[in-house]
Amino acid sequence: MTILLFGVTKDIVGSPSLSIPTASVTGRSIPKTVRELRSFLNKSYPELGKLSSLAIAVNNSYAQDDDQINSYDEIALIPPVSGG
């Protein structure tokens, strides 16, 4: 599962995208909903968990926490940015 990163999430993770290895490689379950993805990310990168608002787009649509995700989906983390 590949997650595209924007704004400050790119700075926090330190790269423009993030790969979550599939269960067959790690033996751990991969996130199946947006909510599970959020908690997975917060554990791996506590700084992400501190963001007040972080939009998650699945296949270019704003996703709700209950939405299902799978490894074929294109996922993007989009935080608000403030520069002008």
Q: In the complex, which residues of this chain contact other proteins (CB under 8 A)?
A: 6-8, 10-11, 50-53, 55, 57, 60-62, 76, 78-84
Please say which residue, 24 or 61, places its beta carbon nearer to other proteins.
61
Least Å from the CB of residue 76 to other proteins: 7
Q: Would you tell me how many other CB atoms lie within 10 Å of the CB of residue 51? A: 15
Collapsing DSSP to helix, strand or coil, 84 comes out as coil
Q: Would you tell me how many other CB atoms lie within 10 Å of the CB of residue 63? A: 20
DSSP per-residue string spanning 21-34? --HHHHSSPPP-BH
User: Is beta strand 75-78 parallel, antiparallel or unpaired with respect to 2-5?
Assistant: parallel
Please say which residue, 9 or 20, places its beta carbon nearer to other proteins.
9
Please say which residue, 19 or 53, places its beta carbon nearer to other proteins.
53
Least Å from the CB of residue 29 to other proteins: 27
